[in-house]
Structure 1
Amino acid sequence: MKLNKWTMIGSAVLLVAGVAPWAVGYLTEQQWLEATEEVNQSQPFVRLETDRYERGVFSAQASGTLALIDPKTGEADQIGFEVAISHGVTGSLLDFSPNGGWQHEGAQWLEDEEPSLTLETRLWGSAVVEFQAPPVSFEQPGRPESVSASGGFARVEVGRMGEQAEVLMVWPELNILGPRADVKLQELHVEQSMSLLSGDVWTGSGTMTLGALVVDSAELPALSVSNVSFETLSEASNGGQTLDSEAVLAVEAVRVNDAEYGPHRVAVSVDHLDVESWNAFSSVMTDMQLMAMDAGADSRSAYQQQMALMQRFNEAVRGLAASGFSVGVRELSLDTPEGEVQGSLDISHPELSEDERANMLMVMQRLVGSVDVSMPLALAEEYPAVRMQLSPLIKQGLLVRDGDELVMKGQMEDLVLDINGVQIPLPPLL
């Protein structure tokens, strides 16, 4: 009896080990086809076509084409690829490579190692994409340009059936040498954590840091930027109906020749953005881009589509305004040789009641805002290029002198912008 029990268990294990890869392979093929369709339908700039998919029990082979479409001309650059797929008990491993390999015949930009691009999937809807690049050096005979890079790594981990993602990229060094300038990037690090809220709206946080950016040119002063950071944060509020987002760009120092200036900081935020209206706005903007690329459409049909799109656009903007929002540059601080440039900008619209929404004849009639900017007067006096840009504002009274500074202070209300006492009527949006 004991032998029979273990025999049955062993047979079951063998059956699962034999059948599971086939089932996993079938599911992987369906997931591949669904992902391809979703990529093509979600945006107009990238198209993924599968030319061949041959599935076996423990492995599969596929090939296809990735097309990158120029939104202005509609022209596409195509990249052919091959995929070697292996099936396991709980998932599959897809190994991608370009047609003809990573290095064209006769090219010598790779040494011993080749790049690796893999996709690992699991039955429960998670996936991991990894790209590993060895050191590369690319030069073209007869041309002065060259590109070299240290080994780099990028990883995207997707969970919750595509509704959650973690991104990590590390690239220690990239050098671009050209006839007019040499550019060097050092210590690039990117981390991003995202969760799908609704439609095309994601929440989460992200950080990008760059150790140094160095530009060396015979035509321009030597420039280096050190310790750059870019941080973002998006959070849902009001039970997921609205979104609050902020982004902060900080630079520790900018060095021009032997002079160093810093730190610099810019903070931007959007508060109480209505998620449903923003999704509608994003959708209509995508459809407008698709229509602009469809040059062969019938003129009568195109006109009707334009009218329908404008109606959708109008409704989306009205929804954003009626739900209330606030957007602005909360902090601007730039260190210059002549002193600090400081400023802030805020634009907001109150949330409207149902009766107010029904009687809303103009979009953003109740928009209010403020602007406060100050900069050293010496910037305009010492630098002709800066003076040329600021001169029209000074002549119109939008920038006025206050001691050793030029200042701009303004308020917006009732479709009138008042800057330093100069009133500018704003056109209403119907």
Structure 2
Amino acid sequence: MKLNKWIAAGAVLLVGAGAAPWGVGYMTEQQWLQAAEEVNGAQPFVRLNTGEYDRGVLGAETSGSVTITDPATGDSHEIEFKATVTHGLTGSLMDFKPRNGWQPEGADWYPEDQPRLTLETRLWGTATLEFNAPVMEVTNPDSGEIFRTSGGLAKLDVGSMGEQADLLMVWPEVALIGPQADVIVRGLELEQEMAWLSGDVWIGSGSMKLDNVSLQSPETPPIVVDGMILTSSSEASNEGRDLDSEAALNLESVTVDGASYGPHRLSLFLNGLDVASWNTFSDTMTELQALQLQEELDSREVFQQQMQLMQQMTQSVQNMVGAGFSAGIQELSVSTPEGTIEGDLELAHPRLSDAERQQMLMVMQRLTGSLSFSLPVALAEQYPEIRMQVAPLVKQGFFVQEGDRLVMRGQLQDMVLNINDVALPLPPLM
């Protein structure tokens, strides 16, 4: 009797194990169709068209196309693809290929292996999109240019049902060799952690590193940029209603014709951005761009809708400013043989009450700010092109000499910018 129970239990497990891939395949098909709807509904410029999904027990075959539209010209480009799907107990693996292959017929772009693009999904709402690129070399027979890459990896991990994402990209070398110039990028590493806040706003942190970028041209001295690091971070404040963000660019050195200068640094900040107003502004901008692609509308309809969208945009900017913010350049530092170029800039607007917002006639009437910028006098004296730019500013009083430096200091208050006691009334922004 006990033996029969074990046999029955084993049979149930076998049936369940056999049926699990079928259930996973069904869920994968639904997730695939839903993902296409979300991509197409989020914006008008990239459209994912899904073809027939031929689902079996342990796998499936599907096809489709991606249509990319240039918002500036309205021109579109379509890429057809096919995918092989493998179903497991807890997830599926989709292996994508262009319908006409990764390279034109007869070409030899990939001497070692073919690229691979896969999407791995799990029942609990996670997905991994991964692109493995092999060594590649493409020669343009008309121009003689050669595009060469060592191969690399791009990987996107999505979790929490699409509300979290981690991006990783590693590319050892990319080169463009041609008669006009040689451009070589080495040691690219990109990492980004993101969490969805609301609308089109994501928060998180990330970094991009480049070992060096070199440019050689017959007409100009060789230029090499070493040790570039770009970092960024953003977080929510005021119970998720505001966004604080900062970014910094650091360069170890810049070498021009054999002479190296560095380090250099630029850091930016933005505090107190009203998320709801920004989302409205961003959505309105997208609608304006999409309106240009609707050829079936006559010019009068387009104009009326443009005016309505412009009013929405103006209102969103007023709300964004009325909620208060501060932004600017926290630090600018550029090293030269003659000394360091330094500067900073801050613009701010106070948070207004509802009554004060109703009385706003101009968008940024209460905007305030400060400016500081200085450079070595020797730098302007050494280089004629810099002297030609600086001399008129010195004559007008925007630059004053303090010791061995030219200094510019400014304050913004009551719609008047005062630079070294030279007042510049700003035009009203209605």
TM range (shorter): over 0.9
Q: Distance in 1 between matches of 2:135 and 2:110?
A: 7
Superposed CA deviations along residues 211-238 of structure 1, whole A, max 9, x for unmatched, are 0111111111111111100000101111
Q: Which residue of 2 aligns with 1:223?
A: 223
- Whole-angstrom CA distance in 2 between matches of 1:376 and 1:293: 51
Pairing of 1:343-362 with structure 2 (within 5 A):
343-362=343-362
2:125 equivalent to 1:125:
yes
Matches within 5 A, 1:137-286: 137-286=137-286
Match of 2:409 in 1: 409
Q: Is the 8 A contact 1:72 1:293 kept in 2?
A: no
Instruction: Tell me the CA shift for residue 346 of structure 1.
Output: 0.2
Shift of 1:182: 0.8
Cα offset, 1:84, TM superposition: 0.7
Structure-1 residue corresponding to 2:71: 71
Deviates more, 1:20-29 or 1:120-129: 20-29
Shift of 1:305: 1.1
> Could you say what secondary structure the match of 2:310 adopts?
helix
C-alpha spacing 1:340/1:41, structure 2 compared with 1 (3 Å): same
SS for the counterpart of 2:397 is coil
Instruction: Tell me the secondary structure at the aligned position of residue 222 of structure 1.
Output: strand
Deviations 1:366-395 (A, max 9, x none): 100011000123333333333344455344
Q: How many Å separate the matches in 1 of 2:246 and 2:324? A: 17
Report if aligned partners of 1:244, 1:271 keep a CA contact under 8 Å in 2.
yes
Deviation of the 1:78 alpha carbon? 1.6
What is the TM-score of this pair, normalised by structure 2? 0.96
Instruction: Give, in whole Å, the separation in 1 of the partners of 2:2 and 2:135.
Output: 58
RMSD: 1.6
| Change beyond 3 A, Cα 1:142–1:415 | closer
Match in the other structure for 2:327: 327
The question of whether the paired residues in 2 share the 8 Å contact of 1:281 and 1:313 is answered with yes
Unpaired runs of 5+ residues, structure 1, are none
Per-residue CA deviation, residues 388-430 of structure 1 (Å, 9 max, x unaligned), is 4445534443233333322221111111111122211112222
Could you tell me how far apart the structure 2 residues matched to 1:142 and 1:40 are?
37
CA distance in 2 between partners of 1:112 and 1:9 (Å): 49
Task: Verify: 1:291 aligned to 2:271, yes or no.
Answer: no
Q: Give the CA deviation at 1:18.
A: 2.5
Q: Which residue matches 1:29?
A: 29
DSSP-derived class of the 1:428 partner? coil
Deviation at 1:295, TM superposition (A): 4.3
Instruction: Quote how far apart the aligned CAs of 1:350 are.
Output: 0.5
SS of aligned partner of 1:344: strand
CA displacement at 1:44 relative to structure 2: 2.8
* Matched letter for residue 386 of structure 1: I
Give 1:115 shift. Answer: 1.0
Distance 1:277 1:117 in 2: 37
Query: Helix, strand or coil for the counterpart of 2:132?
Result: strand
Moved more, 306-315 or 268-277: 306-315
* Separation (CA, whole Å) in 1 of partners of 2:182 and 2:299: 49
Q: CA deviation at 1:296?
A: 4.1
The residue number in structure 1 matching 2:341 is: 341
Does the 8 Å contact 1:83/1:97 carry over to 2?
Answer: yes
Q: 1:168 to 1:352 in 2, by over 3 A?
A: same
TM-score normalised according to structure 1 size: 0.96
User: Residue 423 of structure 2 corresponds to which residue in structure 1?
Assistant: 423
Q: 2: distance between equivalents of 1:329 and 1:279? A: 24
User: Any gaps of 5 or more consecutive residues in structure 2?
Assistant: none
% of aligned pairs identical?
A: 53
Q: Report the counterpart of residue 51 of structure 1 in structure 2.
A: 51
